[in-house]
Structure 1
Amino acid sequence: MALFRRLALHHFVKTHPPSRQVSPAPGDLLSAYEGILPSSLIELWRLKGLGFYGDLQLALIDPRPWQPVLDRWIISPPDDVRRIPIALTPFGMLVYYRKLTATDEDVSYVDPVSKETGVLAWSLDEFFNQFLCERDALESIISPALAQSAHRECGPLVPGEVYEVNQLLLSMQMLQIVKVDALGMHRRLRDAVDSPEPKDDKPTTVADAMPVEHRSMFEDIATGQGLAGLYLSSYIDWHRLLALQPDGQYRLLFWRIHHRTFERIDVRSYSGPYKVSHSSAGDEIVALDIVLRQDSSGGDDNDSRLVAMHSGGMTFLLRAQQLGAIATPIGAYDEMGRSEYYFRRVTLDDAFPEDPCDDRDLPSPPFMDLPKALQALIHVEPLLTTITHVAAPNLDEEDEEEGEGTVMCTLDLCEDDGLRMNMPLFSPQNTGRQLHGWVWEMAPHACKAGIRYRRGADGTIEHGPVVGDVLTTRAPNKGPIR
């Protein structure tokens, strides 16, 4: 008898049941995005489908008609990361998925009314099973009161529709809502957008990168004994500055710098006491007493527990809850990886990073300089795993870029063996193979990985994974862990 297995996105479906209009996605849509979108979403499309979910009418959408719309909102170089629209809120916010690197992904949004963009979650499963299932998080993108008013005045939406609020009347405290074609609204609002002019100076130092009204808070902070000093974390357009004062008080500032106007926006600050202690293994731990407020954003307290790291005259503070995400690029590439997960000590006169994403390439310290808790997560001897099954490659040309694509493979290792989500995998040196990919789906006994393949001029696969191929977690151009 076959065992019943829940959907990977079961929590989302249970919290927001599909409406009667939801129907399974057609085969051509499934094949077009197999290996491109996470398997959990493909599974949801196949077993449940596209359409409205929950009382707030969040719509799962076919990405194909929406791709040109998203590409107009976010114009990027042809070789930039691929953005795939996956969902639409009842008021037209377009939600999209990005596979940023072999180890990074996120779910982001573009709001056609406010013209704002931002990250909602750092994985697709987290977005569906956590963000959309937590009341405060969900209400940050869909106002239940406004949705109820729209439903009462205009009736429920049908596929392809969204509610539009008259912004002019709203500014006069009058509410007028109509139902409009969703694609048409996006095109109309995008057509009305002019190229933004700079509204602030492009930052050159840490000091002038901060919002003007907060600079005085950090001017008297100097590097002192122990951990006292300033620490910066910059990732994409988000920035955090942490001041640890010798008297046991901290100051923590969040802000964004708009990539075109250079405006300092979404500013939030916290202050309070902090304590330094040592773990049983001897790691130095910094605990910030962060008290969230009504205007707090999700994740504002992710810095409440930090692990200090000292190496070569530099000091870092690592997010304790994301040591695994830091360990993955160190183990694979000898790099610190996404700078969102750590702070580095700075002064106000230090140069502000031209491109915060460049911090991903920051070399990692020698292994013995890493905190013991981080050392425990790094495989000094790289893991070796064998491919036990290779799924059929996608034959849809739209799924490939210049004859290359990704195919899902089953591995003989699982999380208990040391694999982690988004962990990169490579063919070992001297095997004559040059495969690469990343762990894409965790499983109790055998994880799955997306492995790249390439077709020849005649369309046949001339370079791709086969059963029996061995993969390792250490990049082939890297020597042993130092």
Structure 2
Amino acid sequence: MSTALAGKPIAAFWPEDWPALGLAQSEPVDPCAERGLYFSTYVGTHRVLHLDGEGRFTLFLWRTDRNGLPEARRQSRHEGAARIVRFGDGDRRLDLDLENAPPAVRWDAALYLVGTGCDSLLLRKRSMHDLAVSIGWNSTLGESERYFSRYRDLKAVPDYRHVGRQAPPLADLPKSIRGLVLRDPIVGRIMQVFDPPGADDPDTTAPVMVVIDKGRKDGVRHNMPFAAPAGAERHLIGWCSAPEARSCAVRVKVNRRADGTPTGLPQVGDIVTSRAPSAPPLA
């Protein structure tokens, strides 16, 4: 988050709307997860969702420039009916009536409720596969645009990271997301390495394409990260670009010395896994 935005009163962005919601500048967080304020921010895009607990919602969206100042032409407000759907497996989903909103806003039309009180979250249904990949990789929720966090202080914008918030324990996640998380990481072996770069390669950011045998038929998704396990000779990290039945293509990042010479390039036989080497066991 921009330091110019963190700590500023939300009311400064919406002076005509905020008092109309009947919100005090500071009040205890309601223990009911179905009522109150939720916030999401990611790379200059900010969203605040207000649930009134009586079946209505108000969703505010705005963008800020690189200095953290709001862009007046890039603000919008949406309101309508909010409905809680409870499933037999215990999942709770918040459905917002955003049928007439722009396509990008409709991504927030279905949100899974997780937790209660200060620690409650709203997880985007449209992002459930990406959430599962992030949780399987390093037990975080990944990019913060995928979820809303509960307000702890109504006076100011919460200051939290764009990437890396710790995920709730698996047992606390909605079953529909929990079932997508790989409890047993994929352990693959590199079978092919294509066109490794040389010292005079003009594109110093291009990855090395490799194909791994993942040893199983399922589980790999597009952009799933892979890395060499802890203690490996080469510190490899890459992202899946083409999942297949028993193999997948992975774009491996190239490390270079100060003189531009590639170092630690992947080799046939290297092992990579879908669990970050520094991540604790899934719990």
Deviation at 1:443, TM superposition (A): 3.8
- CA RMSD, Structure 1 to Structure 2 (Å): 2.8
Pick from 359, 369, 383: which aligns with 2:162?
359
Structure 2 residue ranges without an equivalent (≥5): none
Q: What is the aligned-residue identity percentage?
A: 29
**Distance change in 2, residues 1:392/1:381 (3 Å):** same
Cα deviations by residue, 1:180-215 (Å, 9 ceiling, x for unpaired): xxxxxxxxxxxxxxxxxxxxx856245235332332
Q: Secondary structure at the match of 2:163?
A: helix
- After superposition, the Cα gap between the structure-2 partners of 1:412 and 1:246, relative to the gap in structure 1 and judged at 3 Å, is same
Write out per-residue CA displacement over residues 164-194 of structure 1, whole angstroms, 9 at most, x where no aligned residue: xxxxxxxxxxxxxxxxxxxxxxxxxxxxxxx
More helix by share: 1
Corresponding residue for 2:14?
211
Alignment of 1:20-419 (within 5 A): 202=5, 204-205=7-8, 207-208=10-11, 210-220=13-23, 223=30, 225-260=32-67, 262-265=69-72, 266-292=74-100, 296-310=101-115, 313-347=118-152, 349-353=154-158, 358-395=161-198, 396-400=200-204, 406-413=207-214, 417-419=218-220
The alignment's TM-score, normalised by the length of structure 1, stands at 0.52
- Structure of greater Rg: 1
CA distance in 2, matches of 1:348, 1:458: 50
1:371 Cα deviation after fit: 1.6
Matches of 2:148 and 2:56, distance apart in 1: 17
Range 306-315 or range 363-372, more displaced? 306-315
Change (3 A) 1:455 1:343: closer
Equivalent residue of 2:126, what SS?
Answer: helix
Q: 1:428 aligns with which of 229, 241, 252?
A: 229
Q: Deviations over 1:233-260 (max 9, x none)?
A: 1111111111111211111111112223
Q: Provide the rounded CA distance (Å) in 2 between the counterparts of 1:304 and 1:236.
A: 21
Instruction: Measure how far apart 1:412 and its partner are.
Output: 2.1
Whole-angstrom CA distance in 2 between matches of 1:238 and 1:250: 19
Supply the AA of the counterpart residue of 1:417: D
Matches within 5 A, 1:4-23: none
Question: Tell me, what secondary structure is at the counterpart of 2:11?
Answer: helix
Tell me which residue corresponds to 1:83: none
Per-residue deviation, 1:445: 4.9
Q: Which aligned segments of 4 or more residues in structure 1 are displaced greater than 4 angstroms?
A: 455-462
Q: Which amino acid aligns with 1:408?
A: M
Query: 1:209 touches 1:352 (CA, 8 Å); kept in 2?
Result: no
Kept in 1: contact 2:62–2:70 (CA 8 A): no
Higher strand proportion: 2
Shift of 1:475: 0.9
> Which amino acid in 2 is paired with 1:412?
D
Contact 1:203–1:352 (8 Å) recurs in 2: yes
Q: Would you say the 8 A contact 2:33–2:120 is kept in 1? A: no
The answer to whether the 8 A contact 1:240-1:252 is kept is yes
**Does the CA contact (< 8 Å) of 2:234 and 2:266 recur in 1?**
no
> What 5-or-longer segments of structure 1 have no aligned partner?
1-200
Alpha-carbon displacement from aligned partner over 1:391-430 (angstroms, at most 9, x marks no partner): 01234533116xxx52001122499511111111111224
Give the Cα–Cα distance (whole angstroms) in 1 for the partners of residues 79 and 258 of structure 2.
61
Among 218, 238, 252, the residue aligned to 1:451? 252
Secondary structure of 1:253 counterpart: strand
Q: Report how many aligned residue pairs link the two structures.
A: 274
**Higher relative contact order by CA 8 Å / sep ≥ 6: 1 or 2?**
2
Task: Say if 1:441 and 1:313 are closer, same or farther in 2 by CA, change over 3 A.
Answer: same
TM superposition score normalised by structure 2: 0.85
Displacement of 1:230 after TM fit?
0.7
Tell me the SS of whatever aligns to 2:18: helix
